[in-house]
Amino acid sequence: MQNPSTEILGADDVSRAITRIAHEIIERNSDLNSVVIVGMQTGGTWIAERLCEAIERITNGTVLPLGAVDISMYRDDFSLRPIVLSAPTDIPVDLTERRVVLVDDVLFTGRTVRAALEALNDHGRPRAVQLAVMVDRGHRELPIRPDYVGKNIPTHPTDEVSVSVNGVFVTTHAESV
């Protein structure tokens, strides 16, 4: 049974969070020209695009390379569920010696990020990889932590978290209450 979802962040909150993260990325990376923004297919790609736009706006014209990475071929849970291919990987530059900001919507167990790190390696050897997420919902299963977070939200493992331009919503399933 589907329960009504609760709004955690509104559309304006999401927009403000993206702007804040863009500022943090600029502050943290003095050599901004070496940064590549890579969105994770498919939930992270729109956030990555917004981050690029925000950085361009804030810096008055610095356009960072924008890429996308599909991690379905790198998952470690094939036996647990069918693999569903999303959109193809598109990395526009060699990542060697670059600073990569990996972008996803929700950070949960960390397994997707682990797979993405492996996927990025096949496109070169970055100097550093930083992680930006809109929501950190906890329950990590791997030693992975985000560098930039839109919002930390305590959740139950069975909750569903959805992120879009319209906001962040959490749906709690009846049986998990």
Partner 1 sequence: MKHLLSTHDLSIDNIVAILDTADHMTEINARPVAKVPALRGRTVASVFFEDSTRTRLSFESAAKRLSADTMTFSAASSSVNKGESLRDTIETLSAMGVDAFVVRHKSSGVPAAITQWTGASVINAGDGWHQHPTQALLDTYTITRSFGLKDSLQGRSIAIVGDIKHSRVARSDIDVFTRLGAEVILVAPPTLLPHNIATWGVKTASSIDEVVGKVDVLYMLRMQFERMDSGVIPGLAEYSSRFALTPARARLLSPHALVMHPGPMNRGIEMVVDPSDLPGSRILQQVANGVSVRMAVLFTILGGGATATLQQGVDA
In the complex, the smallest distance separating the C-beta of residue 88 from partner 1, rounded to whole angstroms, is 5
Q: Per CB under 8 A, which region of 21-29, 56-64, 80-88, 169-177 contacts partner 1?
A: 80-88
Give the CA distances from residue 38 to residues 15, 62, 68, 155, 159, in Å, rounded to whole numbers and listed in that order: 19, 16, 5, 26, 27
134 binds partner 1 (CB under 8 A): no
Helix (H) or strand (E) holding 111: helix 111-121
Site string for partner 1, 33-72 (x = CB under 8 A): ---------xx--------------------------x-x
Closest to 110 in 3D by CA, of 85, 160, 76, 68 = 76
**Which residue lies nearer to partner 1 by CB, 54 or 155?**
155
119 binds partner 1 (CB under 8 A): yes
**Which residue lies nearer to partner 1 by CB, 50 or 123?**
123
Specify which residues 169 forms β-bridges with.
7, 162
- Per DSSP, 90 falls in state B
118 binds partner 1 (CB under 8 A): yes
